Amino acid sequence: MNMKPVIIMGHLIIPSGTEQIYPRTYEGNMRIRSVIVPESVKTIGVRAFANCKNLTSITLCEGIETIESNAFTGCTKLKSIQLPASIKQITGWAFYDSGLQKPVLSADGRILVCCPQAAAGTEYSVPKSVREIEMQAFVELHNLQRVILPEGLQVIRERAFIACGFESVSLPKSIKHIEAGAFYDCEKLKDVTGLQKSDPVEYADEFWRIQGKRLTMPCGTDQPQIRHWDESEFQSIARRCAEADASAMYQMKEYFYHKSLQYPDVIFYARAANFWLYRAYQYGNQEAKMFLAKWVDAHPGQRLRTVRLSNSLGGTLQGYLLNAMGFLDFEEEREYTLHCVDKEGLVLVDSYESEDGPDEDGYGSEIYYDWWFVDDCLNFIPGAPILHSYSSNDMRSKSAEQKLSDIHEQTVKLRKRKIVE
């Protein structure tokens, strides 16, 4: 006989043998004051107990493995919780906006899962036992002015700190890995000691990476007022840039810098110069490295504004603007979306091809794109295959994923053959 959960005098009884508390099962239930989650339960689902405003006590028995996102969000009377050793995963925001007064740690004390404002105050020392700070452990602690990280701490997960108020942080020597965006939206953060980067540009890159940003900041821009990409000098430099020539990239930076002096009211030129400055640095040009190091020293806490194409080659631009930047293979009238360079040195590109009109009810319209890969200098690769006329919805299908994987593999081979030749 299967028993059902029952609430008796505010106590929720979950029958032994229950394996999962499904998402939103008890969300907003004001009758629940206490609950014991039996050892048979393996997963507490998304928002399972969210906004149970009168929940004051919960016991998690040994055996529970996963607590999903926002499971206890809004449980404002829940003051503390003890995690069993069986817990393997707690996804984001599990205790967001709850009434916790004490930090939540793993059973062995090695993982800090959540530190509420009530426990952190204005200065908080992470316990010496902690080896890992979990994702979203410190959320919107605007009053937290100082956090002390212990020697022995090894990992800080993505968005471990979100919108916290401290201006500086000192990393212990024991740190092995800080995930991208670990200090997400910590707008007051100006200094991170212990990054172990002697080069000022490397430090700046790392400083912005752990905040989920980049040293370069793609921005909207105006249009160049002359067709400089028709000039033979520009085309010559662009062709060398297309061959991954770092000195040519620095020369391209100089070209745009001089254009910015000629046309000071056109912001495109200054931002294009910044784009090529950083790209030259990426490809190992020493002049660019020295120039950028001086800029970083002179502009602490600032980011380098570039054109809308990121230095990881992601962005959506008209073909003429790509031509104007020095990427000459693109048709001026088409709009292109570039999806960043991958580990094989290829960039997925899509461009509008056609569209269906809506049916008689006004629904069913679909936009179709061509999809293909270019190399990391945005050169079209001769003979590279193309997926013709696929919508974004089509691309989510298993067959399209396989076709995209196949043309990626073919393009990798063609590129390697081109390099050998």
- Tokens, residue 256: 């745009």
Q: What number of CA atoms fall less than 13 Å from residue 162's CA on the CB side?
A: 17
The answer to whether position 320 is within a domain reads: no
Find the domain containing 360 and state its range.
342-420
* Whether the Cβ atoms of residue 33 and residue 57 lie closer than 8 Å to each other: yes
Mean pLDDT calculated for residue range 326-337: 96
In this predicted model, what pLDDT tens digit does every residue of 257-275 receive, in sequence order? 999 999 999 999 999 999 9
Alpha carbon distance 338, 218 (integer Å): 13
Does 290 share its domain with 358? no
* Domain termination site, one of 306, 325, 359: 306
Per residue in 114-152, is it b (16+ CB within 10 Å) or e — as a string?
A: bbbbeebeeebebeeebbbbbbbbbbbbeebbbbebeeb
| Per-residue pLDDT band at 356 (split at 50, 70, 90) | confident
Angle, helix 267-282 to helix 246-262, in steps of 10 degrees: 160
Split into its structural domains, the chain has a count of 2
The answer to whether position 293 is within a domain reads: yes
Alpha carbon distance 272, 254 (integer Å): 10
Give the least confident one: 11-20, 193-202, 204-213.
193-202
Does 299 share its domain with 366? no
Residue type present at position 315: G
| pLDDT (0 to 100) of residue 280 | 98
In this predicted model, what pLDDT tens digit does every residue of 295-323 receive, in sequence order? 999 998 899 999 999 999 999 999 999 99
* Whether the Cβ atoms of residue 62 and residue 84 lie closer than 8 Å to each other: yes
Does 296 share its domain with 225? yes
Work out the percent of the chain whose per-residue pLDDT is above 90: 90
In this predicted model, what pLDDT tens digit does every residue of 143-189 receive, in sequence order? 999 999 999 999 999 999 999 999 999 999 999 999 999 999 999 99
The answer to whether position 285 is within a domain reads: yes
- Model-level pTM? 0.85
Work out the percent of the chain whose per-residue pLDDT is above 70: 97
Does 297 share its domain with 354? no
Does 301 share its domain with 356? no
pLDDT of 1 over the 50 cut: no
Mean pLDDT of the chain: 94
The answer to whether position 10 is within a domain reads: no
* Domain termination site, one of 258, 281, 306: 306
Does 347 share its domain with 398? yes
The answer to whether position 201 is within a domain reads: no
Alpha carbon distance 46, 294 (integer Å): 49
Helix (H, G, I), strand (E, B) or coil at 139: strand
Does 286 share its domain with 354? no
Does 299 share its domain with 358? no
| pLDDT (0 to 100) of residue 60 | 96
The answer to whether position 200 is within a domain reads: no
The answer to whether position 191 is within a domain reads: no
The answer to whether position 139 is within a domain reads: no
pLDDT of 417 over the 90 cut: no
pLDDT of 359 over the 90 cut: no
- Tokens, residue 191: 């200094």
* Domain termination site, one of 278, 306, 334: 306
Does 296 share its domain with 363? no
Angle made by CA atoms 95, 96, 102, in degrees to the nearest 5: 55
Q: What number of CA atoms fall less than 13 Å from residue 218's CA on the CB side?
A: 10
Measuring CA to CA, which residue among 389, 262, 281, 374 is closest to residue 322? 374
pLDDT of 2 over the 70 cut: no
Listing DSSP states for 321-379 in one string gives HHHHHT-TTS-TTSEEEEEEE-TTSEEEEEEEEEEEPP-TTS---EEEEEEEEEETT-P
In this predicted model, what pLDDT tens digit does every residue of 72-121 receive, in sequence order? 999 999 999 999 999 999 988 999 999 999 999 999 999 999 999 999 99
Does 244 share its domain with 290? yes
pLDDT of 366 over the 90 cut: no
